[in-house]
A = this chain, B = another copy of it.
Amino acid sequence: MPKESATRRPRGLGTAVRIEEVARLAGVSAITVSRALNTPDKVAEKTREAVWEAIEKTGYIPNRLAGSLASNRSHTIGVIIPTIINSIFADKVQGMTDVLLKEGYHLMLANSGYSLEVEADLVSAFVAQRPSGLVLTGVSHADRTRTLLGRAGIAVVETWSLSEEPIDMLVGFSNEKAAHAMVRHLHGLGYRKIGLVSAPVEHNDRAASRVAGYRRAVRECGLPEARSLEREAAFSFRNGALALASLVEAHPDMDAIFFANDILAAGALLECQRRGIAVPDEFGIAGFDDVDLAAETVPGLTTVRIPRYEIGARAAQLILDRIAGRESNDRIIDLGFEIVSRGSTRAAPVVQPRPALRRADA
């Protein structure tokens, strides 16, 4: 039987200890308590100790709502990601919290479900909280998002893509070049009819760029080009398996597929196992993201490694710098990518004459 449950009920927030009470107990004024907390070096040591004691005794927890309103600094950063479920974005969020938390900033998180309209609503809801900064995913946004952020005067970082004209700041990599590099890599390994399974492209500039990169590489390499070699599939193992089935049935001579993310690719890899398709000799499979699983599948998954954690950490740092007035001169940070070749594609590049085009270094 919970014995204290009677006193546990919420009493409303108004009953909390106020700064005035602490001040009285410490024999100082409210502003001195405020200073002891926010700028301790501007308070005499003896006073500081008295204040600390009073704080401990009363269990005072400053009301940051009031503090933020008065000081016009909220110590809050808003983050909007397309989906929480994809652990890809979790790494970014982790990168942000690691940087922000120790500076006393907090994260407001929301997911847009890949909808620009929802994103716009979230942005205005976040702006209402007067955050110190806002981190968005991608570079395509609803018009009202841009209008709003243009005049809100909040530090904004877009992520996960590149753009010539970010709203404010940007940390990302080139999805187009990454996809392009992977397809050229596959071509270099001797694959000659390469399919594509993309994430749904609508409202998703990252997915669209990867499709563009694939198409450019296919064209440059003189590989078969056709819309029938491409599929769209929403993020799941199952959909990867289904897309693989659909493609190999439509194109029995296809010898490789580039998947726009590792989850689709891993689903396909497992489907190959069920169907007895020999990976990598008979069929090559490549993914994107280099999630943990990619290193563990049998065979391992060839993929594109992207700096997920780093994107979050750098985005957070950019915001902190802006707040501190340390205006960095690079508002656009390209963190690049890396091709990781594993067992799901052939090991040895096939030596052969190559068209006279720049080759993609991995």
Report yes or no: B293 in contact with A62, Cβ–Cβ below 8 A. Answer: no
Is A66 part of the binding interface, using a Cβ–Cβ cutoff of 8 Å?
Answer: yes
- A 89-118 binary contact with B (CB < 8 Å = 1; else 0): 011011001000100101111110000000
* A302-361 interface with B by 8 A CB criterion: 322
Is A87 part of the binding interface, using a Cβ–Cβ cutoff of 8 Å?
Answer: yes
Given contacts A8-B167, A61-B128, A237-B292, contact A108 B110 (CB under 8 A): no
Total interface residues on A, CB under 8 Å, equals: 78
Report yes or no: B124 in contact with A61, Cβ–Cβ below 8 A. Answer: yes
Report yes or no: B298 in contact with A273, Cβ–Cβ below 8 A. Answer: yes
| CA A152 to CA B9, docked complex, whole Å | 9
Is A148 part of the binding interface, using a Cβ–Cβ cutoff of 8 Å?
Answer: yes
Q: Which of A11-19, A177-185, A201-209, A249-257 contacts B (4 or more CB under 8 A)?
A: A11-19
Given contacts A107-B108, A241-B296, A296-B241, contact A69 B61 (CB under 8 A): no
> Copies of this chain, how many?
2
Report yes or no: B153 in contact with A9, Cβ–Cβ below 8 A. Answer: yes
* A114-132 interface with B by 8 A CB criterion: 124-130
| CA A129 to CA B128, docked complex, whole Å | 15
In the complex, chain B residues whose CB is within 8 Å of the CB of A65: 65, 68-69, 74, 129-130
Report yes or no: B61 in contact with A11, Cβ–Cβ below 8 A. Answer: no
Report yes or no: B108 in contact with A165, Cβ–Cβ below 8 A. Answer: no
- A 68-83 binary contact with B (CB < 8 Å = 1; else 0): 1100101010000001
| CA A64 to CA B168, docked complex, whole Å | 24
| Nearest B-chain residue to A78, judged by Cβ | B106
A174 CB, min distance to chain B CBs, angstroms? 18
Is A150 part of the binding interface, using a Cβ–Cβ cutoff of 8 Å?
Answer: yes
A352 CB, min distance to chain B CBs, angstroms? 32
Given contacts A64-B130, A65-B74, A130-B64, contact A84 B111 (CB under 8 A): no
Report yes or no: A270 in contact with B297, Cβ–Cβ below 8 A. Answer: yes
* A279-301 interface with B by 8 A CB criterion: 292-293, 295-298
Report yes or no: B236 in contact with A292, Cβ–Cβ below 8 A. Answer: yes
A115 CB, min distance to chain B CBs, angstroms? 12
A120 CB, min distance to chain B CBs, angstroms? 12
| CA A166 to CA B127, docked complex, whole Å | 35
Report yes or no: A13 in contact with B130, Cβ–Cβ below 8 A. Answer: yes
Sample of 8 more A-B contacts, CB < 8 Å, known A13-B153, A107-B108, A108-B108: A13-B130, A61-B128, A61-B148, A61-B152, A65-B74, A87-B87, A237-B292, A238-B292
